[in-house]
Chain A
Amino acid sequence: MNEWVFLLLFLAPVVSSIPIVLAYKNKEWTEKLPYLSVFGIFVSVLMSLLIFFVLEGQYRYDWIPDLGINFVFMCDYLSRYMGVITAVIAFFIAVYGLDYMKGDYRPSWYWFFFNLFTASMLLVVYSDNLFLLFVGWEGLGAASWGLIGHWFRDDDDIAYVGEAGRKVGPLGMSWPPSFGGWRAISTIRFGDVPMFLAIAAIWALSPTLNISEIEWGTLFATIGAAGTIILMLCILMGLFTKSAQVPFSEWLMTAMTGPTTVSALLHSATMVAAGAFVFIKLTWYIEPWHLHGVPGLESVYVLALFIGLISGLYGALAGSGMLERKVLLAASTMSSIGLMFAAAAASFWIHEEIAGMNLALLVAFWYMAVHAFAKASLFLVSGHLIHATHSRFLCGGLEFGKRMTPAFIVTIIATTFLVGMPPFTAYWVKSGMDEVMEHLIHDLGIIPLILLILTSVVYAGIMAKFLSLNFIKGDKPQHEHLEGGGLMKVGYILMVSVLFLLTILIFKNEETEGFRQAGYASVSIMVGLAILLAYVVGLVKPRISALSKLGTFFNDRMYLPFVNDYILPKTGFFVSHLVNEYGNRGIDGLFNTKVIPGLFGWISRRIRAIQTGYLSRYITIVLGIVMFILVIVAVGGVWL
């Protein structure tokens, strides 16, 4: 019975999107079949809810038991919540997509990869087996490539990222969809390979690949400090690239070339969230707070903490200079994900447990949940605004805001609930985060807390800027197209309403007790007020002309594109030039042109030179050989 739940959960989205793939040439059918694809995701929603309420613990189905590779699913606290979050968000976005993607030039491609994306993330969420998890992980990679580069013809500026024609030094600051897709997959592969090696190493060293069953302490003790650091770094490479943490963040910015629905899904419940989620999940079972005796592990968690915090601040600052709707949100996502990494990494030093769960991990996870719904709502609103104004840049004044009331209200709710302003949803979670970072003062000093507060303040500012420049103080849009969009409105209204539900849960659930307590602490209240102030400033003064140069620097992502688009390719070309010019010449000479062919040619000619055509010569040779052999046998035989 349970196997049917899992089968439907993972396969319903994929199978339901196959008909539209098969009917890709038939316009009439491709207009109707998206409903079937959405229904497939709805089945996943039902299954995830069933799991949430009914199933608990590990479920195992054999695949290659001899190799320890099996279908093992874990229905624990994390996966039961995350499964529902993923499925519900994907479903709401899919409903929105029915409207948003109408009239697109390749709906089959879109819906297949969209559903594959959802199914892959669900696999990542529920898998206990690392190999199975990696299958879902790679599914995410493939689907993200397909979706980011969906508008592969690069024929509409609306899908680009950056300003057309703008250059900084030798570097063009404009990226088309096809390039965005390529950049995403190439960056992710860069991290996936070490991650795969790490899984292989765990497979070789541990009797099981099931995350919940691996004896992490024993494993780390076997491989020593250097081994632990290398293993964890390899895993983190996969997670950091997927979650677009510095310095691997560039792909996420240019991923905004994909359809907005893709951006929404990519940023809330899949892909970038996958990296942070897997980190939380692994840490959940590694229980590093019990492994302080393991050499090397602390350095790994220090690294994860600071990469997270630095990414958080970097993302927020970059966002502060941005004027493109979706890219601004992308930068803010990177910032949020950074905070999730930081909070989860802080669990190493946090011993406080609520209902048997580590406070830091709970904070990280709940922040992920709140962020997912808020950010998805904002992206869906952006998509609607792009449709309505036909511009990917921030624009729209109060007049326009009044005509787009649902979008306006949803943006107000999503931003205020997300930034950590008291008393809205994220405030309680952020308070928990403040408390966690406060705990770290003893071990790591005040820097983590300062970085967190700075990030939160700038973050509040950019969210307010997004609201202000889209609905209150932005320029009047040159083009307004306000008809239709019914399903789009339904999509983001449903999405944002979940934030209220989350607030209720925070106040009702036993394990979120810690957040509530932290919310009343003086530090949290002060941070909350600072965030409120920053939000108001952002709202009133979304653009500060005196800081425009700094803004441009931030908008150019502090010139990080140079690493991706200039330094790395140039190095690559240099190496390939070396290989081509010198390496190949040697290999060619040995195998293709000189040494081996020459040798074989010479021997071949010698062999053929025997054939002169004269019978007498042949007889001499053959009889000679026969006689020689017989003599040898005679001598050898006597000797034997």
Chain B
Amino acid sequence: MDVPMMMLGALVILTLCSLLSFKYRDLGFYGAIVAIIIAFLAVSRSEPNLIYYSAFIFAIGIINLFSLKVIKSVIQGVDYGLVALMVLATLYIFTTQDLAMILVAFVLVSVPTYILVMIREGGANVEVGIKYITFMVLATVLFLMGALILSYTKSLPDAGLLYLFGYVMLVVGLCIEVGVAPLHEWVPDVFTSADPIPMSIIASLAKIVPFIAALWILIYTASSLTASITIFTAVLAAISMFTGNIGALTSKEHARVLAYSTVANMGYVLTCLVVVINPEPEFICFALAGGLLMLFANAAGKIGFFNAIKGEGAFSPLMYLLAFSFIGLPPLMGFWGKFFILSSLVKVGLSLFEAGYVYIALAAIVVINSAISVPYYLRLARELGVGWKANLTNFICIAAVIIILITVTFLPVDWFFKGMAVIAQTMGIAI
């Protein structure tokens, strides 16, 4: 069976189980797991090089599902289905070359979070929901418009101003969606007011698809004007890194520290988009591997820390390991993310000769920001770290730590990077 058919099957199971979960609560959970397994098998069988990517998404999705068990939401059962839907879209995105399907995946990851963000024990967090949804709608509209304009310019002999508008709208939409400064205003408020468990999902799983979609569209539509406008992305990335890291330095509330950490991390990942200035597969594979590992490290870290907040602290060594990964200490996953991002920046910078110094400078900014982030991550680990207790949040933290520790035993140069190098060959070829 091909991927769309299996995906469709997974969706049917998901929908039925979500419906039935009103009567049999556990069914939603098991249905979600079955759907994710089917989607994982479908994707990894159709493209063997995607197995590592799929495995990470699968792991993050499963951890997210388990973490939902920590709270008793009013829509328990359906919430599993929403998370599984996001996982399905995230798994699906690499298997399609259709712009419409990519945008569908983008929306499918975005919309479930509108509901998830309002989840809290015994009610709905409407105020947070309004703030969040307002910005998400704006972001989605800008992103979709940008994507459509860009793909339209592909058919024009001389796109000019239209290309620039499309590019900027897409990037600005992405920035609002994931929370890149200076368009990050919703992030600190939502991260602090919402329940930590749904936040751990929004801060982890929901960030992956927008980047892949944006990178794909930008590579596909790259033109002679890309060189002049890419600096815009670089400036936003630099602003976001500084704003996030410096903002976190004096924040006292843990969730707020994590909010600014997200702003900074999205800045790191945004730097990957500058690769479109010279969209050769040899550079794209670095950006792709770096961006994804960074997103995975961010996802694992956010899941661990938010669950620790929910559980009023978690086992101290786990907290420190997550903090070290965020800081970028080798050989944890956070290091490899930054390493590949820096490699892509330096390689692209060098390939442009004198015009490329800006991007090498951007690489230096990434390094400086990693240093700035050290104090607050360590503070976070120290304050959230407690003794060992055998509870669900601690087990979820262990799972998150296992993800960031995988690169200790298996250097991603050998497997993840090679897989992404193959995927990079196909990116943007045809939509």
Contacts and interface: CB of A to CB of B under 8 A. Distances in A.
Given A621-B185, A640-B225, A615 B176 contact: no
B165 A622 contact: no
A608 B165 contact: no
10 contacts: A600-B246, A604-B246, A604-B247, A605-B250, A607-B243, A613-B189, A617-B185, A621-B185, A625-B182, A640-B160
Contacts of A633: 161, 164-165, 168, 229
A637 B164 CA distance: 7
B186 A618 contact: yes
B138 interface: yes
A99 to B, nearest CB: 52
A224 B26 CA distance: 87
Interface string A600-640: 11011101101101010111011101100110011011101
A604 B181 CA distance: 13
B11 to A, nearest CB: 34
A618 B250 contact: no
A626 B188 CA distance: 19
Interface stretch (B63-71, B72-80, B127-135, B208-216): B127-135
B172 interface: yes
A640 B232 CA distance: 15
Given A610-B185, A622-B176, A637-B160, A615 B131 contact: yes
Contacts of B372: 600
B172 A629 contact: yes
B183 interface: yes
B277 to A, nearest CB: 16
Contact of B249 (A601, A613, A626, A629): A601
Instruction: Kindly state the interface size class of chain B when it binds its partner.
Output: 20 to 34
Contacts of A615: 130-131, 134
A633 B294 CA distance: 30
B228 A601 contact: no
Nearest to B162: A637
B425 interface: no
Given A608-B256, A621-B182, A637-B161, 15 more contacts: A601-B250, A603-B246, A604-B248, A605-B250, A607-B243, A608-B188, A608-B247, A608-B250, A610-B185, A615-B134, A618-B186, A619-B134, A626-B183, A630-B165, A633-B229
Nearest to B171: A629
Contacts of B243: 607
A593 to B, nearest CB: 14
B249 A600 contact: yes
B251 interface: yes
B135 A622 contact: yes
Which 3 residue pairs across A and B have the least CB separation, nearest first?
Answer: A618-B185, A637-B161, A604-B250
Nearest to A610: B185
Nearest to B138: A622
Contacts of A621: 182, 185
A618 B372 CA distance: 26
B120 to A, nearest CB: 18
Contacts of A601: 249-250
A594 to B, nearest CB: 16
Contacts of B189: 611, 613, 618
Nearest to A636: B164
B332 interface: no
Interface core residue of B229, B246, B256 (most chain A CB under 10 Å):
B246
Contacts, number: 74
A604 B260 CA distance: 11
Interface of A: 600-601, 603-605, 607-608, 610-611, 613, 615, 617-619, 621-623, 625-626, 629-630, 633-634, 636-638, 640
A436 B260 CA distance: 80
A484 B93 CA distance: 88
Given A613-B189, A615-B131, A608 B251 contact: yes
B168 A622 contact: no
Contact of B131 (A618, A623, A629): A618
B168 A629 contact: yes
B17 interface: no
A608 B248 CA distance: 9
Contacts of B130: 615
B142 interface: yes
A603 to B, nearest CB: 5
B164 A607 contact: no
A441 B243 CA distance: 79
Given A604-B249, A607-B246, A608-B251, A640 B168 contact: no
A41 B188 CA distance: 71
A600 B246 CA distance: 7
Given A600-B246, A611-B188, A625 B183 contact: yes
A601 B142 CA distance: 34
A372 B399 CA distance: 67
A617 B185 CA distance: 9
Interface in B227-269: 228-229, 232, 243, 246-251, 256, 260
B9 to A, nearest CB: 40
A604 B257 CA distance: 12
Contacts of B164: 633, 636-637, 640
Contact of A634 (B161, B183, B188, B228): B161
A622 B141 CA distance: 14
A321 B249 CA distance: 68
A612 to B, nearest CB: 9
Contacts of B138: 622-623, 626
B250 to A, nearest CB: 4
B131 A626 contact: no
Nearest to A637: B161
Contacts of B131: 615, 618
A618 B130 CA distance: 12
Interface in B162-194: 164-165, 168-169, 172, 176, 182-183, 185-186, 188-189
A625 B138 CA distance: 13
Contacts of A618: 131, 135, 185-186, 189
B125 to A, nearest CB: 14
A516 B247 CA distance: 86
A600 B243 CA distance: 11
A603 B243 CA distance: 9
Nearest to B236: A629
A531 to B, nearest CB: 67
Nearest to A623: B138
B72 to A, nearest CB: 27
A600 B372 CA distance: 10
A605 B247 CA distance: 7
A616 to B, nearest CB: 10
Contacts of A611: 185, 188-189
A608 B259 CA distance: 11
Contacts of B225: 640
A638 B228 CA distance: 13
A633 B149 CA distance: 15
B195 to A, nearest CB: 18
A605 B250 CA distance: 7
Contact of A626 (B142, B186, B229, B256): B142
Interface core residue of B225, B250, B260 (most chain A CB under 10 Å):
B250
A292 B17 CA distance: 98
A636 B163 CA distance: 12
Contacts of B182: 621, 625
Given A608-B247, A615-B131, A629-B172, A622 B183 contact: yes
A638 B161 CA distance: 7
A605 B248 CA distance: 10
A634 B161 CA distance: 7
Contacts of A629: 168, 172, 232
Nearest to A608: B247
B388 to A, nearest CB: 33
A84 B324 CA distance: 55
B168 A607 contact: no
A600 B256 CA distance: 17
B166 to A, nearest CB: 10
Contacts of A622: 135, 138, 176, 183, 185
